[in-house]
Amino acid sequence: MIKVCLADSHPVVHFGVKSYFKEHDSISIAANVGSFLMIRDILLTKEVDILILDLEMDGLSSIFEVKSILKNFNKTKIIIYSDLSEQVYAPNAIKAGVSGFISKKEKLDTLGQAIIKVSQGKIILNETVKKNLDLIAKQKKSERLYRKLSNREVEVLRYLSDGKKNNEIAVILNLNEKTISTYKLRLLQKLNVTNLVDLVNKAKTLEIV
């Protein structure tokens, strides 16, 4: 039996996923957590094969925290289950070491299939992601600029788009405010804009945020 921990801030997601897999032959929901801060305690006390994780859950501010979980609990694999833009966040998540990225728009059967495949050591990118990546590869260089963004740059851009100031982002990501300013400058250069308003608009156009 594949033991799964579902980490999501929304009770309705917990209810739906737990109900769907209740009678499953191969998958057991061994634990549920509503905050990222609870994950370590669960992994320390329970055997978990796969962690299903929403990148927008309470307590999670950076993909680097996900990398830390993978490093410290290397027997547990992670599947991202999220509403965030697949064409941007899936590649970054895979780069961080997760084993799969499933959109919440997909049927729970797709999530189930992903859990089984990941337990077998496979890396999962669903067809939507693969098609998006293929389309992006055919776009003009100017339309593919965001692919050059690092995980950290995507995070900073996301918080800037939420209206947060440099000092607020620095606190969230536990970085120096000067470092955030450097990331902001890199974003302006990489996305070929000159001000914050255009930066946010460009990010929305490219579905980065």
Q: Is the pLDDT of residue 25 over 80?
A: yes
Question: pLDDT value at position 66?
Answer: 92
d(CA 105, CA 46) in angstroms, rounded, equals 29
Question: pLDDT value at position 128?
Answer: 64
Q: Is the pLDDT of residue 149 over 90?
A: no
pLDDT-based confidence at 21, cuts 50/70/90? very high
Average pLDDT over residues 36-43: 94
Q: What percent of the chain has pLDDT over 90?
A: 56
Question: pLDDT value at position 202?
Answer: 82
Q: Which tokens belong to 115?
A: 């859990």
What average pLDDT is seen over the chain?
87
pLDDT-based confidence at 192, cuts 50/70/90? confident
Residue whose tokens read 């978990």: 48
Which residue from 52, 55, 61, 90 is spatially nearest to 152, judged by alpha carbons?
61
Predicted TM-score (pTM) of the model is 0.71
Average pLDDT over residues 88-107: 86
d(CA 173, CA 131) in angstroms, rounded, equals 32
